[in-house]
């Protein structure tokens, strides 16, 4: 519940706070979720390793990214932080989905949790897009009218833009103001749209069915036993 609220707050206020702060907030809520589903040690291990390994690699390569783009220590620590968020969130989401699909009963709280997980998946893809866009600057194309507000270079490195793109893709809205260009970015966007549809169809329906049959049980016991 709290995680979902923080996530939505980042979505609303992320524009006005520095990117590093919102990334750190993401790490915190990821930890919260991970701690409730798996052990403390695994959490620290995953997020620490996924921060240190890219950071180390980048330091070893003299702060040069893939494709010999010079990044500098500040940008590369940001990139490592994004990767850390990405991996711990992927790990968290995997555990979470497993826990949801295994649960035998559900209340209204679980439904809220499922909606939360939806935002969670969108955030994962937002991180993924940011990392891709950092590694390959031509992965995403921004609409002309948007570039008038922000320079193309600023847009590309903006976590918030791609976060927005991620949500637009996952809800299958697809305005087309930000377009995936490179092959990898395209296949990711398509897979996210598919996940967005199937999540609502499969996971939500599963939980809702559990919830409704739970609701029916105390009042009318004969209402459920048929199915």
Partner 1 sequence: MHPIRHHIMKAAEKRHVIGAITIVGLFYIGPYLPESITLLAFFAVACMAMTTHAGSLRVALVASLSFLLSLLSLVLRGWKSFAGTPLTFGEAVEESVVLMVLATLIFGTLTWIKRLLSAEKASMDKVLEACNVYVWIAGTFAFLYTVLGRFDPSAFRCAQLMPLGSALPTVNEWRVDVQQMLFYSFMTQTTLGLGDMIPVTHMARVLTVTQAIIGQFYVAVVLAYILNLWMQDLRRGVEKKSEQKSDSELPRH
Task: Pull the structure tokens for residue 1.
Answer: 């519940």
Instruction: Tell me whether residue 96 or residue 118 sits nearer to partner 1 (CB atom).
Output: 118
In whole angstroms, give the CA distance from residue 85 to residue 105.
30
Q: How far is the CB of 80 from partner 1 (least distance, A)?
A: 26
**Cα dihedral 182, 188, 189, 193 in deg (nearest 10):** 160
Token match 């990139």: residue? 79
Instruction: Tell me whether residue 11 or residue 100 sits nearer to partner 1 (CB atom).
Output: 11
CA neighbours closer than 13 Å in the CB half-sphere of residue 48: 6
Instruction: Tell me whether residue 17 or residue 57 sits nearer to partner 1 (CB atom).
Output: 17
Q: How far is the CB of 204 from partner 1 (least distance, A)?
A: 5
In whole angstroms, give the CA distance from residue 125 to residue 121.
6
Instruction: Tell me whether residue 83 or residue 127 sits nearer to partner 1 (CB atom).
Output: 127
List residues near partner 1 by CB under 8 A: 11-12, 14-16, 111, 115, 118-119, 143, 145-146, 148-149, 160, 164, 167-168, 171-177, 196, 200-201, 204-205, 208-209, 212, 216, 219-220, 222-223, 226
H helices of the chain, in order, are: 2-13, 19-37, 40-60, 72-102, 108-135, 144-149, 152-156, 159-170, 183-198, 205-219
Token match 């890219």: residue? 54
How far does the chain reach from its first CA to its final CA, in angstroms?
31
Q: How far is the CB of 74 from partner 1 (least distance, A)?
A: 23
- Residue 48 CA, distance from chain mean position: 18
Q: How far is the CB of 36 from partner 1 (least distance, A)?
A: 23
Instruction: Tell me whether residue 123 or residue 136 sits nearer to partner 1 (CB atom).
Output: 123
Instruction: Tell me whether residue 53 or residue 204 sits nearer to partner 1 (CB atom).
Output: 204
Q: How far is the CB of 159 from partner 1 (least distance, A)?
A: 12
Query: What 3-state DSSP class applies to 220?
Result: coil
Q: How far is the CB of 178 from partner 1 (least distance, A)?
A: 9
Q: How far is the CB of 134 from partner 1 (least distance, A)?
A: 21
Instruction: Tell me whether residue 71 or residue 208 sits nearer to partner 1 (CB atom).
Output: 208
Task: Pull the structure tokens for residue 191.
Answer: 């897979």
């Amino acid at each position: 519940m709290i995680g979902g609220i923080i996530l939505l707050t980042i979505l609303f206020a992320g524009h006005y706070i520095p990117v590093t702060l919102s990334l750190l907030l993401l790490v915190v809520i990821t930890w919260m979720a991970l701690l409730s589903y798996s052990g403390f040690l695994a959490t620290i291990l995953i997020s620490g390793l996924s921060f240190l390994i890219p950071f180390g690699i980048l330091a070893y390569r003299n702060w040069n990214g893939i494709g010999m783009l010079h990044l500098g220590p500040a940008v590369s620590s940001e990139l490592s932080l994004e990767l850390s968020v990405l991996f711990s969130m992927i790990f968290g989401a995997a555990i979470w989905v497993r826990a949801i699909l295994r649960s035998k009963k559900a209340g209204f709280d679980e439904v809220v949790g499922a909606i939360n997980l939806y935002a969670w998946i969108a955030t994962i893809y937002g991180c993924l897009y940011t990392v891709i866009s950092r590694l390959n600057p031509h992965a995403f194309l921004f609409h002309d009218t948007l570039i008038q507000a922000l320079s193309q270079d600023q847009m590309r490195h903006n976590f918030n833009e791609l976060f927005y793109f991620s949500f637009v893709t996952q809800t299958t809205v697809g305005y087309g103001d930000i377009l995936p260009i490179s092959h990898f970015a395209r296949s990711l966007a398509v897979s996210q749209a598919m996940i967005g549809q199937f999540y609502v169809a499969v996971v939500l329906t599963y939980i809702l069915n559990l919830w409704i049959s739970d609701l029916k049980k105390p009042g009318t016991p004969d209402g459920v036993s048929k199915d």
